């Protein structure tokens, strides 16, 4: 497989290089397969913003799960398995109603949420704020705000900040890695539907 004039001799070699810590090889994988994953998600979801989110989530999952790749099928097939699962989860997720966390218990999406869960949610919010403040660059904080709070597309963020879409995607990937390293499990909040 080759992309942008850079070649790797086998999927196994590429995976082994990534697992040994080669950022360059992961970027090769990302650049080679991101457009295909995005197009697949866009075709299934019909929403460019959702497709961008799915593609980002797929590559975050690929990065975390790459050690489980056995090499019995081409890497592209394995990545598309991750992509199908991610898209299908989007279809299955019910959009939660936002409710106040005050009081002993509240009903959210038809289920009662205890005061303990409300306290856990507040702790997670404080942890998220700390990670954003201390582990992200000012540019990444701005991108985070535009993407996750204002729900802007990668294209509109790139235009607003005068950056390329690839630069925005790379920063989103680095933010997810920083969040995953600083607060394991917290990145799942970024995947939750709004």
109-137 residue pLDDT tens? 444 445 555 555 566 666 667 667 777 77
Residue 150: pLDDT over 60: yes
User: Could you tell me where in the chain the CATH 1.10.1740.10 domains are found?
Assistant: 2-92
pLDDT in tens, 19-61: 888 888 888 888 889 999 999 998 988 888 888 888 999 988 8
pLDDT-based confidence at residue 97 (cuts at 50, 70, 90): very low
User: Could you tell me where in the chain the CATH 1.10.10.10 domains are found?
Assistant: 114-191
CATH topology of domain 114-191: Arc Repressor Mutant, subunit A (1.10.10)
pLDDT at 8: 72
Question: Shortest CA distance to 18 belongs to which of 32, 36, 39, 4?
Answer: 32
Does domain 2-92 correspond to CATH entry 1.10.1740.10? yes
Between 90 and 154, residue with greater pLDDT: 154
């Amino acid at each position: 497989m080759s992309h942008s004039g850079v070649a790797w001799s086998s999927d196994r070699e590429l995976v082994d290089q990534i697992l040994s810590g080669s950022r360059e090889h992961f970027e090769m994988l990302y650049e080679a397969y991101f457009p295909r994953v995005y197009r697949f998600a866009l075709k299934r979801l019909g929403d460019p913003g959702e497709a961008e989110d799915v593609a980002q989530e797929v590559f975050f999952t690929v990065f975390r799960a790459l050690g489980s790749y056995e090499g019995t099928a081409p890497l592209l097939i394995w990545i598309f398995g991750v992509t199908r699962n991610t898209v299908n989860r989007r279809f299955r997720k019910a959009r939660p109603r936002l409710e106040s966390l005050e009081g002993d218990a509240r009903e959210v999406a038809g289920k009662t949420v205890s005061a303990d869960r409300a306290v856990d949610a507040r702790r997670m919010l404080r942890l998220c704020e700390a990670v954003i403040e201390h582990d992200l660059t000012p540019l990444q904080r701005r991108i985070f705000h535009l993407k996750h709070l204002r729900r802007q597309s990668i294209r509109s963020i790139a235009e607003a900040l005068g950056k390329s879409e690839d630069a925005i995607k790379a920063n989103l990937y680095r933010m997810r890695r920083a969040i995953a390293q600083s607060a394991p499990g917290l990145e799942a909040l970024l995947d939750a539907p709004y």
